Amino acid sequence: MIRLAPDQSAQIRRTEKVEFTFDGTAIWGHAGESLAAALIRSGRLHLRDAPEDTDPRGAFCLMGLCQECLVVLEGQTVESCRIELQPGIDVTSLRYGADG
Amino acid sequence: MLLLCGTAQMADLIDILVVGAGPAGGNAALAAARHGKHVVLLDEQVKPGGQIWRAKDSSILSAPQTPESSAGDALRAQITKAQIDHRGSTRIWQIERQTEGWDVHVLRDGQVERLTTKTLVLATGAHEFVQPIPGWTKPGVFGLAGATALFKQNLSPPGQRTIVSGTGPLVFFVASEICRLGGTVAAVVTPNTRRDWVAKLPALARRVDLALRGALWIVHLMMDRIPIFWGCSVVSVEGVARVESAEIQKLDANWAPKGETWSIDADSLCLGHGLIPSIEAPQLSGVTISYRSDLGGWVPDIGEDGATSVEGVFLCGDGTGIRGAAAAELHGTLAGLSAAEHLGARTAKERATLRSRFNRAARFGLAMTALSTPRPGLAMLTKPDTIVCRCESLTQTRIAQEVEVGAASTNAVKSGLRAGMGPCGGKYCQTAIARFIAMHENRPEAEIPPSAPRPPLRPVPVSALSADFDYDDLPIPKPAPL
């Protein structure tokens, strides 16, 4: 079938895959992409709990406004959509609920 | 010829400080620099381009070009070549009037810094309006415009199987990008009808290139047998701790939900209902605002070529009304030239030739804004127990209680409930709250302005402030009027 908007995903060349951890689990992403993008690709969407009702939250605006994608990196709370993925980093979700 | 130091001293007096490096701010900086002005261009992102022409991140070694990436690359090349001091990854959080101009407080690499400038060009762009629906806080729901950041910067789809729901041309762009990047679109859902689009044919005919591109997106979706539900909206999101499915419902002509609902499985949802001008920085500079539904809501009051009633402050781009990127480029050039003129350059002739082109581009952009702006019935998608303020997990019922005991303004709701005081600074709740108050009190939206902006405009870590500030240096904002 003729495709007017072809799937170009195979034509995209990316940096090598690197490992990092999220809540202790090793996952991979591409060095230099945003941490949020790597987490979304790996299916890790639940990044934090809402402080008031501990409901699960994840990246929403992806442009540094909503503060929903906050995670903990090296003891600092950071916006995962504005952090470049480096190999070997240890990232944890921000949990206030019973499981956190 | 002006020589710029690699590390600018705090005491340096800048001629023109441009905030925002999208189509408007980037072109404002270029225009002012052409007239020999000392221009500093601040932007939150690493590279210029704004949201519309957001640059790829460093993980992308090569990829097919798109119209957006080409336009962004062209702007970035021009800015690199020009005598412009571009500072990326820099957020402004406070603007203060000083005797010789303006102090702009910025945050960069975890450090605060104060820049002093004779004139300001604010090109702060827009953010997204999302009508709150049940379940919209679940992980896997992304803003419709927000998702485009993922496409342009990371070249990734938002999930394996995505529902795209929202207004205007953006739904079709987002759906098309998901297909291009290897994702699957479960359905496209839009409150607009085919008739709404036909009514805009005269405006579309002004930009045949853009109209054809939009038509191709739709034809492609149809050829791929992706369902397009016209005159409908996603009305709730189901799933434990993440998106698993979404309910879709027909809307009436006023966009209130009506009639049958059905469910579609998906692992992600892109949801958005138009853009809102980002007016906080202009407001902090003292520019007054007015309600203009044709421009996307509350906009700063501007005169010709981005001039304002505040001396030395110029505004341009979507932050002054949602006219689209093509208009923003020209508006930016006009505002940059106006700022240069304010500092002694002669730019009147150049501006005169640009004005009609700007007006033409704006007409197309405003037609798209008209398609994207929510109709009043859409507010009915928010149910009593729906979270409206994401930061503080406040439901519509809580806000209704506050309004019933007399909170008749967004400022009153904010001080009573903290709706708008959370980390997002009200960017994702103020418009919905204002519309709720208007509906509840049967008053026009033009009577319910957004709450007064308070610094910091972006979250500032305490460590950044304590490192560089004495107590006497801390700016103490005026209390918000109730």
Closest residue to B223, CB basis, from A4, A29, A31: A4
Is A65 close to B140, i.e. CB distance below 8 A?
no
Question: How far B357 CA sits from the closest chain A CA (Å)?
Answer: 30
Q: Locate the domains of chain A by residue range.
A: 16-92
The answer to whether B287 and B298 have CB atoms below 8 angstroms apart is: no
Asked which of B257, B273, B289 is the last residue of a domain, the reply is B273
Question: Could you tell me which chain B residue has the CA closest to the CA of A79?
Answer: B459
Is B66 within 8 Å of chain A by CB?
no
What does the alpha-carbon distance between residue B408 and residue A10 come to, in Å, rounded to a whole number?
54
Q: Is the peptide bond before A51 cis (omega within 30 degrees of 0)?
A: no
Asked which of B273, B308, B326 is the last residue of a domain, the reply is B273
> What's the mean pLDDT in B319-346?
98
pLDDT > 70 in chain B, percent: 96
What does the alpha-carbon distance between residue A66 and residue B263 come to, in Å, rounded to a whole number?
28
Question: How far A44 CA sits from the closest chain B CA (Å)?
Answer: 9
What are the chain A neighbours of B182 within 8 Å (beta carbons)? 7-10
User: What pLDDT is attached to residue A96?
Assistant: 77
Residue B306 token pair: 């981005």
What are the chain B neighbours of A31 within 8 Å (beta carbons)? 58-59
Question: What pLDDT band is residue B380 in, cutting at 50, 70 and 90?
Answer: very high
Interface size between A and B, measured as CB pairs under 8 A: 153
Find, among B438, B456, B455, the residue nearest to B447 by Cα: B438
Average per-residue pLDDT for chain B: 93
Question: What pLDDT band is residue B464 in, cutting at 50, 70 and 90?
Answer: confident
Same domain, B145 and B259: yes
Is pLDDT at B273 greater than 80 in this prediction? yes
Same domain, B136 and B112: no
Closest residue to A56, CB basis, from B176, B216, B241: B241
The answer to whether B270 and B190 have CB atoms below 8 angstroms apart is: no
Chain segment B42-84, per-residue pLDDT in tens = 999 999 999 999 999 999 999 999 999 999 999 999 999 999 9
Same domain, B405 and B319: no
Cβ partners under 8 Å of residue B71, min gap 6? B23, B52, B53, B325
Q: What are the residue ranges in chain A where pLDDT is below 70?
A: 1-5, 97-100
Asked which of B369, B394, B416 is the last residue of a domain, the reply is B369
Which residues are bridge partners to A56 per DSSP?
A: A49
Question: How far B350 CA sits from the closest chain A CA (Å)?
Answer: 35
Is A97 within 8 Å of chain B by CB?
no
The answer to whether B316 and B126 have CB atoms below 8 angstroms apart is: no
Instruction: Specify if B457 maps to a domain.
Output: no
Same domain, B135 and B237: yes
Is pLDDT at B102 greater than 60 in this prediction? yes
User: What pLDDT is attached to residue B236?
Assistant: 98
Same domain, B428 and B310: no
> What CATH number does residue B74 fall under?
3.50.50.60
User: What pLDDT is attached to residue B1?
Assistant: 34
The answer to whether B140 and B269 have CB atoms below 8 angstroms apart is: yes
Instruction: Specify if B174 maps to a domain.
Output: yes
Could you list the beta-strand ranges (E) of B109-206: 111-122, 126-128, 141-143, 161-166, 184-190
Is B149 close to A33, i.e. CB distance below 8 A?
no
Is B86 or B2 the better-scoring residue by pLDDT? B86
Same domain, B146 and B101: no
Is A19 within 8 Å of chain B by CB?
no
Same domain, B146 and B251: yes
Is pLDDT at B435 greater than 70 in this prediction? yes
Same domain, B398 and B447: yes
User: What pLDDT is attached to residue B11?
Assistant: 55
Residue B30 token pair: 């270029």
Which residues are bridge partners to A70 per DSSP?
A: A79
Question: Could you tell me which chain B residue has the CA closest to the CA of A54?
Answer: B393
Q: How many domains is chain B partitioned into structurally?
A: 3
> What's the mean pLDDT in B427-443?
93
Same domain, B284 and B263: no
Residue B426 token pair: 């009200």
Chain segment B181-204, per-residue pLDDT in tens = 999 999 999 999 999 999 999 999
* Residue-number span of the structural domain to which B426 is assigned: 382-451
Is B181 close to A8, i.e. CB distance below 8 A?
yes
* ipTM over 0.90 threshold: yes
Chain segment B352-378, per-residue pLDDT in tens = 999 999 999 999 999 999 999 999 999
Instruction: Specify if B79 maps to a domain.
Output: yes
Count the helices and strands in chain A (H runs, E runs): 1, 8
What are the chain A neighbours of B388 within 8 Å (beta carbons)? none
Instruction: Specify if B470 maps to a domain.
Output: no
User: What pLDDT is attached to residue B476?
Assistant: 75
What does the alpha-carbon distance between residue B389 and residue B3 come to, in Å, rounded to a whole number?
48
Is B206 or B395 the better-scoring residue by pLDDT? B395
Is pLDDT at B97 greater than 90 in this prediction? yes
Same domain, B138 and B251: yes
Q: Is B416 exposed, middle or buried (0-12, 13-18, 19+ CB in 10 A)?
A: middle
Q: Is the torsion defined by CA of B179, B183, B186, B189 positive or negative? A: negative
**From the candidates A40, A44, A71, A81, which should be mutated to test the interface with B, based on the most B CB atoms within 10 A?**
A40
User: What pLDDT is attached to residue B479?
Assistant: 77
Question: What pLDDT band is residue B474 in, cutting at 50, 70 and 90?
Answer: low
Chain segment B122-157, per-residue pLDDT in tens = 999 999 999 999 999 999 999 999 999 999 999 999
Question: How far B66 CA sits from the closest chain A CA (Å)?
Answer: 11
- Partner A, chain B 373-402, Cβ-Cβ below 8 Å: 387, 390-393
Q: Is the pTM of this model over 0.90?
A: yes
pLDDT > 90 in chain B, percent: 87
User: What pLDDT is attached to residue B460?
Assistant: 86
Is B156 close to A37, i.e. CB distance below 8 A?
yes
What does the alpha-carbon distance between residue B468 and residue A28 come to, in Å, rounded to a whole number?
38
The answer to whether B345 and B37 have CB atoms below 8 angstroms apart is: yes
Between A80-94, B311-325, B455-469, the lowest mean confidence (pLDDT) is in B455-469
User: What pLDDT is attached to residue B299?
Assistant: 98
The CATH number that domain A16-92 falls under is: 3.10.20.440
Same domain, B171 and B239: yes
What does the alpha-carbon distance between residue B183 and residue B330 come to, in Å, rounded to a whole number?
35
- Partner A, chain B 91-120, Cβ-Cβ below 8 Å: 91
User: What pLDDT is attached to residue B465?
Assistant: 76
CA distances, B34 to each of B87, B227, B337, B358 (Å): 19, 50, 9, 20
Same domain, B121 and B188: no
